[in-house]
Structure 1
Amino acid sequence: MGFLAGATSAFAQCKDDQVLVKGGFGEAQFMIELADDAGERAQGLMNREVLARSAGMLFVFERPGTVAFWMKNTLIPLDMIFVDRTGRIQHIHSNAIPHDETPIPGGDDIFAVLEINGGLSEIYGFQVGDALQHSAFLGGPALIPCKE
């Protein structure tokens, strides 16, 4: 289901292929693909027919800024979780519509975007202010620090 079994340390080992989301709901872990260059971010999850429930893609930018996404050539509904440099969730867009070319704004000072299957944010209870843990946030004041 994506939830972690048992308690985890606030200083868990960060891995490039995992994101931990932590908030009032508890914790959820996703195995992710990392999109940290322009080509990977442009391709994103386009043309994929399925995405495992515990999977996602983390888009990481060189510096925080104003970002917007769209769903052109995306075949499955997605939740977009817009995150600042510290790993704190700033905005959640649920159930983005496949093939829709309408820009989906995430806000200002966005450093990363986690895309997961549409509807999961609501199922898990993710809220603005919850935090992500991933090695991408090591260069800033990560809210959930990683073990060295």
Structure 2
Amino acid sequence: MSTLGLALSLLLPGAAFAQEGPQKLPAITLTAGMHQIRAEVARTDLQRQIGLMHRSAMPAGEGMLFIFEQPGVQCFWMRNTLIPLSAAFLDDEGRIVNIEDMKPQTEDSHCSKKPVRFVLEMNQGWFAKKGLSAGSRIGGEPFARPR
């Protein structure tokens, strides 16, 4: 959950808890080298706040891309999230800044090491299993370079 989401949940008690089941959002295809990722896209404050909460499982090769309007130090936590996740914090070109492994149902804060607009959550260990680390690039429409 982003810092903004945390602030909203404090200001609007119960806002994150009104969601009883997992949200399903439109998905796009991203690439990581030869690997394809089906990523649901969370664009609004509420979508980002709910994120992957209440899911008991997530298929391999699927995840959620969080898109923010402005770059910032993005921080996430795992309240009401039932599955272990890895969050890759991505710059505007899709390069991984840092990856944080997150434990289910915790409120530990996991933050980007510099301002970013994108965060990609996948099943925990997915990035490591694919040999991806800081400096690796995720491809796809959100990271298209202007010509």
TM-score computed with the length of structure 1 as normaliser: 0.77
Question: Residues of 1 paired with 2:143 and 2:98: CA distance?
Answer: 17
SS for the counterpart of 2:93 is: coil
Gaps of at least 5 residues in structure 2 are 1-26
Structure 2 residue aligned with 1:105, among 108, 111, 115?
Answer: 111
| Larger relative strand fraction | 1
Instruction: Verify: 1:79 aligned to 2:86, yes or no.
Output: yes
Question: Residues of 1 paired with 2:140 and 2:49: CA distance?
Answer: 21
Question: Residues of 2 paired with 1:92 and 1:126: CA distance?
Answer: 9
Query: How far 1:111 moved relative to its partner?
Result: 1.2
Amino acid at match of 1:99: Q
Structure 2 residue aligned with 1:135, among 122, 125, 141?
Answer: 141
- The structure with higher relative contact order (CA 8 Å, sep 6+) is 1
Quote the residue 1:68 is aligned against.
Answer: 75
Quote the residue 1:58 is aligned against.
Answer: 65
Structure 1 ranges of 4+ moved more than 2 A? none
Instruction: Verify: 1:20 aligned to 2:31, yes or no.
Output: yes
Structure 2 residue aligned with 1:116, among 112, 117, 122?
Answer: 122
Question: Residues of 2 paired with 1:65 and 1:118: CA distance?
Answer: 24
SS for the counterpart of 2:105 is: coil
Amino acid at match of 1:75: L
Q: How many residues align?
A: 121
Provide the identity percentage: 34
Gaps of at least 5 residues in structure 1 are 1-15
SS for the counterpart of 1:86 is: coil
SS for the counterpart of 2:106 is: coil
Question: Residues of 1 paired with 2:77 and 2:135: CA distance?
Answer: 23
Query: How far 1:105 moved relative to its partner?
Result: 1.1
Question: Residues of 1 paired with 2:140 and 2:103: CA distance?
Answer: 27
Question: Residues of 2 paired with 1:127 and 1:107: CA distance?
Answer: 14
TM-score computed with the length of structure 2 as normaliser: 0.77
Quote the residue 2:49 is aligned against.
Answer: 42
